């Protein structure tokens, strides 16, 4: 049978045998269930009226550590063998993944080594140490981070857990959409913010590789960090060079684990401007009374720009996180 006749589901699995399957998402859900929060789904009449649609918000800002990142980190940490876990885990990140990995490791009772640039805000360092992470500060360059992580691995044998370019992380992030699809029947569409692509990849697998494929999935990205959009159009990874967006969680570029999944399965990637992100932040905080971070509202920002059109549809939105400095809210 010529490959043209293969469904995308088959072709993606065939050409990338290492990518997580729908069964991996189910396994991740069972693995993290004792540790992660089953977050609520909320609705908002004002937003429904504004967009002429029914919106269902999966509130990952209410997840442990305030972001979906805990799902992937918990799945990765609890996937390790006893012997691997005992040596600890390591990552270089200054964001939600660092806090999530620290907490997941603490829950398993193993060390988490977090390499952070020396210019990380004190509040982020405090969050990581508050969850028991062992911080190593380094120069704020990628080379310095990788060198510090390498030294820790050489010394301790700790397992590197990348923030998104890791099948265990991708499978864990997919559990948010799994819960959403389970709770809200007949969704037409799910909107997901995209940075490194872990959440989008996991959502795509949960929605499109299910035995009975579910809603379409659209990735939503800041126009000022549009590497996923350009990579999706070009058919190859085009890293972002100077991301300049208030959506600080989405400044990263797709990885070689996330790009093929996204390229094969996503319906579309849409862009949102900075004023729309600020307006969406105000809208969600004022109307839904939820504290969210700028990255989380990029799907609403895209809707404010008019793309995608969702009138008459039932649309899931993953509100990815709520870690924002309240005294400096970037509001329109």
Residue 286 Cβ vs a copy of itself, minimum distance, rounded to whole Å: 7
Residue 189 Cβ vs a copy of itself, minimum distance, rounded to whole Å: 25
Q: Let me know: does 67 contact 93? Beta carbons within 8 Å.
A: no
| Interacting residue with a copy of itself among 31, 51, 66, 133 (CB under 8 A) | 66
Closest CA to 125 of 95, 160, 163: 95
| Rg from Cα positions in the chain | 19
Tokens read off for 193: 């913010």
Residue 71 Cβ vs a copy of itself, minimum distance, rounded to whole Å: 16
Choices 60-68, 131-139, 226-234, 241-249 (CB under 8 A): range interacting with a copy of itself: 60-68
Residue 329 Cβ vs a copy of itself, minimum distance, rounded to whole Å: 6
| Interacting residue with a copy of itself among 214, 222, 255, 322 (CB under 8 A) | 322
Report the Cα 201 to chain-centroid distance in Å: 9
* Count of residues in contact with a copy of itself, rule CB under 8 A: 19
The DSSP bridge pattern shows strands 216-222 and 268-272 to be parallel
Sign of CA pseudo-dihedral 97, 99, 103, 109: positive
Closest CA to 198 of 140, 143, 243, 253: 253
Q: Let me know: does 174 contact 206? Beta carbons within 8 Å.
A: yes
Q: Which is nearer to a copy of itself, 129 or 307 (CB)?
A: 129
Neighbours of 202 (CB within 10 A): 34
d(CA 235, CA 248): 25
Q: Does 38 bind a copy of itself (CB under 8 A)?
A: no
Q: Does 36 bind a copy of itself (CB under 8 A)?
A: no
| Interacting residue with a copy of itself among 6, 62, 135, 210 (CB under 8 A) | 62
DSSP per-residue codes, 60-101: GGGSGGGBTHHHHHHHHHHHS-HHHHHH-EEEE-SSHHHHHH
Q: Which is nearer to a copy of itself, 59 or 224 (CB)?
A: 59
d(CA 26, CA 211): 12
| Interacting residue with a copy of itself among 14, 139, 182, 286 (CB under 8 A) | 286
Residue 287 Cβ vs a copy of itself, minimum distance, rounded to whole Å: 8
**What x-and-dash track marks residues 288-307 binding a copy of itself by CB under 8 A?**
xxxxx---------------
Residue 61 Cβ vs a copy of itself, minimum distance, rounded to whole Å: 5
| Interacting residue with a copy of itself among 11, 282, 307, 313 (CB under 8 A) | 282
Binding site for a copy of itself (CB under 8 A): 40, 42, 59, 61-62, 66, 282, 285-286, 288-292, 322, 326-327, 329, 331
């Amino acid at each position: 049978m010529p490959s043209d006749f293969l469904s995308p589901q088959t072709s993606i699995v065939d050409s990338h045998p290492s990518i997580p399957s729908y069964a991996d998402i189910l396994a991740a859900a069972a693995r993290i269930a004792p540790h992660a929060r089953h977050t609520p789904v909320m609705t908002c009449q004002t937003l429904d009226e504004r967009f002429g649609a029914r919106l269902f918000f999966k509130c990952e800002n209410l997840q442990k550590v305030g972001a979906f990142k805990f799902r992937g980190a918990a799945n990765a940490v609890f996937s390790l063998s006893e012997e691997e876990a005992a040596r600890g885990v390591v990552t270089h990140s200054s964001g939600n993944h660092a806090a999530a990995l620290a907490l997941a490791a603490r829950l398993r009772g193993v060390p988490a080594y977090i390499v952070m640039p020396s210019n990380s805000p004190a509040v982020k360092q405090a969050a990581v140490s508050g969850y028991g992470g062992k911080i190593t500060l380094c120069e704020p360059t990628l080379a310095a981070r990788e060198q510090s992580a390498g030294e820790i691995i050489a010394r301790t044998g700790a397992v590197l857990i990348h923030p998104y370019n890791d099948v265990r992380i991708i499978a864990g992030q997919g559990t948010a959409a799994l819960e959403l699809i389970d709770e809200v029947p007949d969704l037409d569409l799910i909107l997901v913010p995209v940075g490194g692509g872990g959440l989008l990849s996991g959502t795509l697998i949960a929605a499109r590789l299910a035995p009975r494929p579910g809603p379409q999935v659209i990735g939503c990205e800041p126009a000022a960090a549009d590497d996923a959009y350009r990579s999706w159009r070009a058919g190859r990874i085009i890293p972002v060079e100077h991301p300049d967006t208030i959506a600080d969680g989405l400044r990263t570029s797709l990885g070689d684990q996330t790009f093929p999944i996204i390229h094969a399965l996503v319906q579309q990637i849409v862009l949102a401007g900075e004023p729309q992100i600020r307006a969406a932040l105000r809208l969600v905080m004022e109307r839904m009374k939820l504290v969210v971070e700028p990255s989380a509202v990029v799907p609403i920002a895209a809707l404010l720009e008019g793309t995608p059109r969702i009138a008459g549809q039932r649309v899931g939105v993953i509100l990815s996180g709520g870690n924002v400095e309240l005294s400096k809210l970037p509001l329109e």
